[in-house]
Amino acid sequence: MSVSDRIGVQLPYLRRYARALTGSQSSGDAYVRATLEAALADNALLDEIARGRVELYTAFNRIWSSSHVQTAVGDVAIGDGGLHEQAAHERLASITPTHRQALLLTTVEEFSRADAAAVLDLDIDEVDRCVAQAIREIEGETATDVLIIEDEPLISMQLEGLVTDLGHRVVGTAATRTQALDIFAQHPAGLVLADIQLADGSSGIDAVEDLLKMGDIPVIFITAYPEKLLTGERPEPTYLVTKPFQEATVRAAISQALFFGSSRPL
């Protein structure tokens, strides 16, 4: 396998991580692009990131930690309107997100504690402390109303239970695009969890695009095929969870989405 092929296999997942970390598609993709551009200019770095996923994320983390990458505030992506983009930049300007990085790496990206420690240049005990800090923040988050768009009853029930356990309120569950719009019209939500393929053949992406016309809300997509939605070539989800999912993964995605969502101007 060529160097470009070895790196290319991992790029959709690096984009997922970068978008969740920065709170927007354009910012996340800009940092991924900066990492690749740095590698193209440095053969040693290129060889490093071609060795594996840990090395690629480690290089990305160095770029993320030491660089400011210019992006166009106001770019519009699925689940990511102009106000959200601007708020994400403002939120990032005032935080040190190492603990959130540790949580995302060990849940959404499913790194081992040892590999997460390597990526973040920490020891394992420090990773554990960072994750614990992030979890404390989750437990202290303000509750919001949640709309679930999912056509599999068991998955819908699982998500509803998870959301409720976190202290949020489920305003409704929808199996189709039409149901989602009807529920949201009666009970506007502060967060949406959406499957991609729905019961009647309709698209969760289309449903979300309709919902975003009614208000600027954070959205988490849930799909078995994340690589198909993370090409960087079109407006795509900022927050994405892979099926089958671990509850800790969904919790981390919800926390990150609300972390940036809560920073928006009223």
Q: Are 84 and 218 in contact (CB under 8 A)?
A: yes
What's the CA gap between 36 and 30, in Å, rounded?
10
Residue showing tokens 């989800």:
237
The residues facing 250 across adjacent strands are none
Longest Cα–Cα distance in the chain: 56
State if pTM tops 0.95: no
Consecutive H or E run containing 238: none
What's the CA gap between 50 and 264, in Å, rounded?
38
Per-residue pLDDT of the chain (266 residues; tens, 9 = 90+): 788 888 988 998 999 999 888 888 888 889 999 999 999 999 999 999 999 999 999 999 999 887 656 554 444 344 444 545 555 555 554 445 799 899 999 999 999 999 999 999 999 999 999 999 988 888 777 889 999 999 899 999 999 999 999 899 999 999 999 999 999 999 999 999 999 888 778 788 888 888 888 878 889 998 887 776 676 665 577 888 988 888 889 988 998 888 887 433 22
What's the CA gap between 251 and 159, in Å, rounded?
10
What's the CA gap between 188 and 171, in Å, rounded?
8
What's the CA gap between 259 and 248, in Å, rounded?
16
Q: What does the buried/exposed string (b/e) look like for 49-76 if buried means 16 or more CB atoms within 10 Å of the residue's CB?
A: bbeebbbbbbbbbebbeeeebebeeebe
Protein fold of 142-246: Rossmann fold (3.40.50)
Q: State whether the Cα torsion 149-150-156-158 is positive or negative.
A: negative
